[in-house]
Structure 1
Amino acid sequence: MPRAFARVVLARALAAARAPVAHAARRLAVARPPCAAKSTAAAAASDRGDVRVGDEVSVECVDFATSGEGVCKLANGMVLLCDGATPGEVVRARVTKLRKKLAHGAKTATERAAPNAVTAPCPHHEQCGGCAWQHVNYDAQVGHKRNRVVDVLARIYKAGEDAEAKVGACVGADETSRYRNKMEFAFASGTRGKTVVGLRPRGANDSVVDLSGGCLLQSEEADRVLAAIRETLERADGRLEAFDRTSGEGTLRSVTIRTAGGERGGEKAVMVDLATTASPNELKTGPLAGLIDVVSKVPGVVSVVHTSGGTTTKAGSTKKVEAVFGENKLVETLNGIDFELSSASFFQTNTEQAARLVRQVREACAFSGDKSEIVLDLFCGVGTMGLSVASDCSRVMGWEVVPEAVKDAKRNAELNNITNAKFYRVDLARLNPSKGPKGLLTTPKGKELPMPDIVITDPARPGMDSALIAILRTIGARRIVYVSCNPATQARDLLLLTAPSEGADDVAYELKTVTPVDMFPHTTHVESVAVLERKA
């Protein structure tokens, strides 16, 4: 695809992604806007009738926004995004922010309950920012997530009424609690000069919700670690201070608790990653050393690592990571394949649903059965997708920019005795489309690789770069399986991949199906697997 044409299509797709939503099924996927200045709100008040910040209004919630807020309509026609409102519920809401065509509010009371409303099982639900939809029946959650995928396909990909037929049923989860294998918690200053650990409250970054009852998203083993940390901080009586990003003072930044194991019937193992500003001496003596000792003795903990300094960039992490108990290693099993994970490794945080996602991808690849296909695995991470399909094909070629992930992928291939999968470090956001297939199918050492039959791509939330899409169209693999955690950018990229061909060296694709997968129950997030076939 010529770059100029790609830019035009991309610009149109981006404009569609940013446009206000007015889908026929009343789905309003409105992004959270920046806060409006009070003077702007006052100046535009005459355009909105008598609605002002601080007013209480009675409104009916008709849908969910992508942010998890309820979408309501004010009497003057303005959209009100109301935190805590559920579709079908009539609420009293206090207006907290105003823009020209959009308002924000917070629920103060329920006047009529929603038909799909349930009592949130977590005592911290009202304050914590972790589970926006815990108060909604799970079947309804799955339905809303499918609707979101249908909406972006209709609106951004321009599928219109065909979007409903393209999108399959959302693959729901059997377990909606204790499903996360990794959670990151923050530290903050609490009352009486003591330090607390928990999750950030909704809309705030300078405090935390003290999770006295634990977190229902993570394993019971991880909850025991969190409880041990809370108790140690209570006894420390302020001697372990939370890091203050404003002043630069304090020690404790965050703690990440990772759980692995269980698929083969064994006991679960836990890795704890403490991120602090501490010096090496503080890891050996003093309050922090005492905290590390307590954590290492919690049943199930096999590894405690300490992370200090540095930042994470596209080239990798410059942080210093040191194992202070055990090794910086944890082994997770997915569909019979073992993955050795370090503290910095990316791995899907819902192991059970990740197994279903991988099975969905394998089915979407539509392998011939003779193991002849060559697979190109883009944004391969630790090799989860590529290694999972290696037994179905002749060769897997994996691309990833993060060097630690590439090392993990190579090690995981060795761990499972998989010899037909190779992984390379390549920045897929810095490709030269003028080189055609060679711009992608060349190793860092200059070796040319064969043309793939199937492409699996699993980019981060921003989606794929237009140059990468242009190269994929020149390669012309018979099938592309596109996994995404952001349906909006996926729909934008699908528009580019299916745009009309511009010549013999530019292959257009046809979108066959999109399958939503609920990786994160009780949240607004949804994964989706799109299948594209090369047009004749």
Structure 2
Amino acid sequence: MPEKNQVCNAEITALTSEGSGVCRVDGMAVFVPDTAVGDKIKVRIVKVLTSYAYGIVEEITESSPDRITDNCQVYKKCGGCVYRHISYEAECRAKADTVRDAFRRIGGFEPEFEEFLSADTTEHYRNKAQYPLAVQNGKAVCGFYAQRSHRVIPVHDCALQPEIFSSITNDILDYIDSKKLSVYDEVSGNGLLRHIYLRRGTHSGEIMVCIVARKDVSRQFSSLCRNLTEKYSDIKSIILNINPKCTNVILGEKCITLWGSDHINDTMCGNSIQISPLSFYQVNTVQAEKLYAKALEYASPSTTDTIADLYCGAGTIGLSMAHKAGKIIGVEIVPDAIKNAQFNAKMNNISNAEFYAGDAGNVFAELSKNGCSPDIIILDPPRKGCSEDTLRTVTNAAPQKIVMISCNPSTAARDAKWLSQHGYNTVKVCGADLFPRTRHVECVVLMSRDKA
């Protein structure tokens, strides 16, 4: 059994779902960040637990063929990316393995694993950024939290964000300093400004600037609105979001429009989409379109089928299928997102879609009582997966197909296992990369009702 501070020779043979390399020392698995499969290293053991240990690299004695030179100055400080030191091909292999492993290990499944949906680009793909604010050396800064902390690492040019975001945030920081506006401190609870939150339509180019504060400080930003809109013609909306709570949740419930519109517009799967500050919208538009196309392929609706889209957000998935189906019913817990979904349906002349606000399980249970009998159910839950109540409501409705889109293969496999115990077969699984260079991976799952 290895001991703390012991230095050993080892070879990395696998990657975890969190992006750390795995080697074995004295028969025990040791997890080592910033390594690649095939690296031969000297590893220092830093923590030993009952069945595994953690280590750090002392020296790379032989580099893996997958290893590359990362191009980010804060890569090892920022908590965002974990794969900038390996090739994108190697990253996709690791993520595909993560999906397969989850369904085999957690679900006990051996479905058809389809070809992994890799991204066309790994740079500047995000349409949203949420930058926490802090004060360092007497100046306002923004960036991202260091891993497993709330210590802000200033980031001036994140390779994952649109380049224009860096310019806009720098102008906002200069304004905060020039006006001597206070920045929120989590420890003391003092200060006003919490986050800078930016959204951009990938196809439209429209930009929303949202500043998150503890209380209404609208009067402080009139000249900032003028400065930003004169400099950046793509800015269509400037919002102040009020979040007075001591919480890790970024956005509060109240939004005040300081300039322009209360939303921006974009296009998703050929449909015009309205996006408000509180709306869920996939952060990688191009990859989301691939993901939704795969979901449509799995659903394969006929013009007489009713599709229930649970956790529907702004309605993007259901609306992408409306032209193939008889009826779309969307359910989402965020009222503003439902308003966006209803408007999006109207804006695209889609008359066969209805949207309801509320908990997916509760609302759909009521719809079922009123005779709603879906042929296909689409599930797109948050990372924690579906509640058992929602899953029970789904199986009680007895659709012929269930298509699950998940940002967490582990909870997707767990939920698929529950569904498999209640009459559904896991037929196909397809992994997809919506977040290149980060540890996150999505998957689409096709389940069919067991006729037996």
Normalised by the size of structure 2, how large is the TM-score?
A: 0.93
Partner of 1:32: none
Instruction: Please identify which structure carries the higher strand content.
Output: 2
- Per-residue CA deviations over 1:315-346 (Å, capped at 9, x if unaligned) read xx753211112122100101210110111111
Partner of 1:342: 276
Aligned residues of 1:198 and 1:208 also touching (Cα < 8 A): yes
Structure 1 residues 532 and 58: CA distance shift in structure 2, 3 A: same
C-alpha separation in 2, matches of 1:534 and 1:68: 35
Q: 2:126 aligns with which of 170, 180, 200?
A: 180
Aligned residues of 2:405 and 2:442 also touching (Cα < 8 A): yes
Aligned residues of 2:17 and 2:95 also touching (Cα < 8 A): no
Q: 2:139 aligns with which of 178, 194, 200?
A: 194
Give the letter aligned to residue 255 of structure 2: V
Aligned pairs for 1:307-346 (under 5 A) are 307-310=241-244, 319-346=253-280
Question: Aligned with 1:441: secondary structure?
Answer: helix
Structure 1 residues 481 and 246: CA distance shift in structure 2, 3 A: same
- Per-residue CA deviations over 1:88-117 (Å, capped at 9, x if unaligned) read 112334433332222223334322212111
Residue 252 of structure 1: CA displacement? 2.1
Aligned pairs for 1:457-468 (under 5 A) are 457-468=379-390
Aligned pairs for 1:23-422 (under 5 A) are 48-49=1-2, 51-52=3-4, 54-74=5-25, 76-159=26-109, 162=110, 166-191=112-137, 193-205=138-150, 207-212=151-156, 214-232=157-175, 236=178, 239-262=180-203, 268-280=205-217, 283-285=218-220, 291-299=224-232, 300-310=234-244, 319-368=253-302, 371-422=303-354
Partner of 2:400: 478
Give runs of ≥4 in structure 1 deviating > 6 Å.
Answer: none
Identity level (%): 30
C-alpha separation in 2, matches of 1:227 and 1:91: 40
C-alpha separation in 2, matches of 1:100 and 1:58: 21
Give the letter aligned to residue 32 of structure 2: C
Partner of 1:18: none
Structure 1 residues 251 and 318: CA distance shift in structure 2, 3 A: closer
C-alpha separation in 1, matches of 2:318 and 2:263: 21
C-alpha separation in 2, matches of 1:284 and 1:252: 14
Aligned residues of 1:429 and 1:464 also touching (Cα < 8 A): no
Question: Aligned with 2:90: secondary structure?
Answer: helix
Give the letter aligned to residue 367 of structure 2: L
C-alpha separation in 2, matches of 1:129 and 1:318: 24
Residue 430 of structure 1: CA displacement? 5.1
C-alpha separation in 1, matches of 2:49 and 2:299: 46
Structure 1 residues 528 and 261: CA distance shift in structure 2, 3 A: closer
Question: Aligned with 2:322: secondary structure?
Answer: helix
C-alpha separation in 1, matches of 2:216 and 2:309: 40
C-alpha separation in 1, matches of 2:6 and 2:215: 48
C-alpha separation in 1, matches of 2:307 and 2:246: 29
Question: Aligned with 2:258: secondary structure?
Answer: strand
Structure 1 residues 72 and 440: CA distance shift in structure 2, 3 A: farther
Structure 1 residues 60 and 294: CA distance shift in structure 2, 3 A: farther
Question: Aligned with 2:13: secondary structure?
Answer: strand
Aligned residues of 2:214 and 2:244 also touching (Cα < 8 A): no
Residue 535 of structure 1: CA displacement? 1.9
Structure 1 residues 322 and 424: CA distance shift in structure 2, 3 A: same
Partner of 1:435: none
Partner of 1:533: 448
Aligned residues of 1:479 and 1:531 also touching (Cα < 8 A): yes
Aligned residues of 1:182 and 1:257 also touching (Cα < 8 A): yes
C-alpha separation in 2, matches of 1:90 and 1:203: 27
Structure 1 residues 156 and 351: CA distance shift in structure 2, 3 A: same
Higher Cα Rg: structure 1 or 2?
Answer: 1
Give the letter aligned to residue 305 of structure 1: I
Question: Aligned with 1:459: secondary structure?
Answer: coil
Aligned residues: 448
Residue 292 of structure 1: CA displacement? 4.8
Residue 173 of structure 1: CA displacement? 0.7
Structure 2 unaligned blocks of 5 or more: none
C-alpha separation in 2, matches of 1:249 and 1:208: 17
Give the letter aligned to residue 350 of structure 1: N
C-alpha separation in 1, matches of 2:113 and 2:155: 38
